[in-house]
Structure 1
Amino acid sequence: MSNYEKATRPEDITRLFVERSNAGDAEGVAALYTEDAVLAYPPGGQTVGRSAIQALWAKVLANRPHFELEESLPTLVSGDLALTSTAPKDGAGARAQVVRRQPDGSWLRVLDQPEFTPPTSG
């Protein structure tokens, strides 16, 4: 996985995710996560660890979905942690990720909440 472009800023991960997903590259998508990352997907569940995330994305990408780059919202950084989010184009409500700076200065996802729709009050 070392031949992949690294995220030099927390916001780079979203672009790299879209590029690799649209290329059908599950290994490349998984390379954006730490070894012990937690992905809140499928809806209502969790996928834990880079290898499990790669297996999940291999299944998802087999259907050749198309992803569009979404507008990044302001990133919140505290030391080696950052909270990134995007304004979803598909009405999913919110997307948010916690990323961690790696020893080489690059960033990887630690926690990923790709879809969250708040409950409606009523």
Structure 2
Amino acid sequence: MDAYEKAMKPEDLTRLFVERANAGDAAGIAALYEEDAVMAYPPGTVTVGRDAIRRLWEKVLADAPHFEPEEPLPTLVSGDIALTSTPPRDGAGARAQVVRRRPDGSWLRLIDRPEFRPPAR
């Protein structure tokens, strides 16, 4: 994990995710998460732990999807915990992550909801 660039601001995590996803680097994506992180993906399920997150992204990236950077909303920080979010380009739903500062000052994702769409009315 130390070979990867670290997120020194919470907002760096989104940029690093896009760079690593577009490079097909599932291990690099997983390195953005804490060991016991929880991700609400695929929709309707929960993926728990860095290893499971890596395996999930290996499957997703096998189809070589392309990700575009999204402009982050203002980050909310309380001590060593922060909430980051981005609105999807299509304007439907939201993406949100709870991230935690590490002792070295870098940030990792702890809870990730990469896709949320409100129920149809």
Q: Shorter-chain TM-score category?
A: over 0.9
TM (norm. structure 2) is 0.97
Aligned ranges for residues 1-122 of structure 1 at < 5 Å?
1-121=1-121
Unaligned runs of 5+ in 1: none
- Contact kept, 8 Å, 1:21 with 1:61, in 2: the verdict is yes
Unaligned runs of 5+ in 2: none
Instruction: Compute the RMSD of aligned alpha carbons.
Output: 0.9
TM (norm. structure 1) is 0.96
Percent of residue pairs identical: 75
- Contact kept, 8 Å, 1:17 with 1:29, in 2: the verdict is yes
Query: SS at 2:57's partner residue?
Result: helix
Query: SS at 1:104's partner residue?
Result: coil
Cα distance, 1:92 vs. partner?
4.4
Q: Which stretches of structure 1, 4 residues or longer, exceed 2 Å deviation after superposition? A: none
